[in-house]
Chains A and B, each alone.
Chain A
Amino acid sequence: MSVRSIIRFIVRYHVFFLFLILESLALFFIYEQKTFHRQRMLAATADMSGRVQEIYSNVTSYLVLGAVNDSLMAEMARLKMKARQAGGGRPEPAVRSDTLDSLIYRFIPARVISSDYTSFNNYILIDKGSLDAIHPGMGVTSNYGVVGIVVSSSPHFSRVMSLLHHDIQISARLAKNGQLASLVWEGRHPQRAALRYLTYPSPVAVGDTIVTAGSSTFFPGGELLGTVEKMELEPGADFYNITVKLSTPFDRLHYVYLIDYALQKEQESLEEEL
């Protein structure tokens, strides 16, 4: 076959070839996105889409100021109560395990620019990036509860893998007795997740609080995840089937805190040795 006939062949079926090329490109982008540790593309595009969505969010953020205020006031009240219980109004002693804890975990506030919750794998875009010392692997919470984990950051923006994502699994605890379990999202309702591996027998009941276990490098222990909404135990099974109502409203998320864990590198390097 001569070169000429090959060229003629390509020209003749150019639409089909173009179709194949474009579809392969699209599949390549999807692959890049799906691989958790290779989010280079995301970092590159975060800046562009971030700037556009920030304009939109700047306009619409005025409409929700009331709701944001209410949630901040509620958190203030909670923290005030906690401070009173802890210190009783008297000055605190210089070093205590609590204060040491708060030095190890630093909280950085950020604004949510866009939050997905309608997809099978959801992401959240926030307005702080590598210039603000944000880096992949940081946990993200809000005054409602746990939000997700940072997966990539550009200079001014970061992408957060939301709790509503298929590759995320959070080590959790039953707040009542500290029993360990694992929280996953099954891709249905943005407010419901499944709690797996809670072993029988357990005093778990509907309405019980589920918090983070604190064993991962992403979150300190005791961050609110949600409450038990429905539970059942098949006869003879070792684990309960539990549906958790997530405490974070992903459709109304406006401000979040990034968790900077000072010992993250240390803990990770030790875990890698195992």
Chain B
Amino acid sequence: MKINVLRLFFQFLVLVLLQVLVLNKILLFGYATPMVYPLFILSLPVNMPRWIELLLAFFMGLLIDLFSNTGGMHAFSLVLLAFARPVILALMSPKEGYDPGEIPSLYRQGPAWFSVYAVLALFIHHLAFYVLEVFSIAYTSFILGRTLASILFSLLLILLIEVIFFINPKRAGL
């Protein structure tokens, strides 16, 4: 398996900075704050060793927590997502299976597949995050509202990023 370390590192850095410096400051309709950094975990190769995946998720989450005063909430949610990703991938596996080292992307798997994949993953991540953030049963509808609104917002941005950066077949195959 070939992992392009430089590309991973670049993605990691850009997504963390984007989240911390730009997206964290957005509050749409008093409800939705987009979280786009899970895209990093979503677009790891399908056969990535799982312990590396978990560690990457943990450090990325912790780095974002450091900048947004959230303790370990981003880390918790992202590790949960990384742990659940193989299950989602297995659920959505095409008949002939994945190519070894395949990177799930909008270009390769098509918009429908990728959107479902992203929504499932984002739901786990966002729900965990808002439950941890609010941490009170009294706010159940508030938690669900923020989760759903933010998923919609995050998904739109993630699809946009995919279209801009990964639609080119040559680059998508990197």
Given known contacts A25-B58, A118-B24, A188 and B30 CB-to-CB distance under 8 angstroms: yes
For A48, give the chain B residue with the smallest CB separation.
Answer: B66
Q: Please, how many residues of chain A have a CB less than 8 angstroms from a CB on the other chain?
A: 40
Q: Mark B128-143, 1 if CB is under 8 A from A, else 0.
A: 0000111100010010
B115 adjacent to chain A (CB < 8 Å): no
Q: Who on chain A is nearest to B86 by CB?
A: A15
**Apart from A29-B62, A33-B69, A56-B21, what 9 extra A-B contacts exist at CB < 8 Å?**
A14-B51, A22-B57, A30-B72, A52-B67, A120-B134, A187-B142, A188-B142, A190-B27, A251-B25
Nearest A residue to B57, CB-CB: A22
Within 8 A of B (CB), among A115-139: 116-123, 125
In the complex, which residues of chain B have a beta carbon less than 8 angstroms from the beta carbon of A56? Answer: 21
- Interchain CB contact (< 8 A) of B54 among A19, A48, A114: A19
Indicate whether A45 reaches chain B with its CB closer than 8 angstroms. yes
Per-residue CB contact flags for chain B residues 74-92 toward chain A (1 = under 8 Å, else 0) read 0110011001000000000
Most buried by B among A30, A56, A125: A30
**Hey, which bits of chain A sit against chain B, CB under 8 A?**
14-15, 18-19, 22-23, 25-34, 41-42, 45, 48-49, 52-53, 56, 114, 116-123, 125, 159, 187-190, 251
Would you mind naming 14 contact pairs between A and B with Cβ atoms under 8 Å apart? A26-B61, A26-B73, A30-B132, A42-B69, A53-B20, A53-B67, A56-B21, A117-B25, A119-B68, A121-B69, A159-B69, A187-B134, A189-B30, A190-B27
Q: Interface size (B, Cβ < 8 Å)?
A: 36
Main secondary structure of the interface of B (DSSP, over half): helix
Q: How far is the CA of A182 from the CA of B120 in the complex (A)?
A: 42
User: Knowing A26-B72, A29-B71 touch, does A18 contact B54 (C-beta < 8 A)?
Assistant: yes
Q: Report the separation of the CA atoms of residues A42 and B70 in the bound assembly, to the nearest whole angstrom.
A: 10
Residues of B within 8 A of A119 (CB): 33, 68-70, 133
A41 to B66, CA, bound (A): 10
Instruction: Choose among A15, A19, A32, A118 the residue that contacts B27 (Cβ–Cβ < 8 A).
Output: A118
Give CA–CA (A33, B71) in the complex, Å: 5
Inter-chain CA distance A49–B16, complex, in Å, is 13
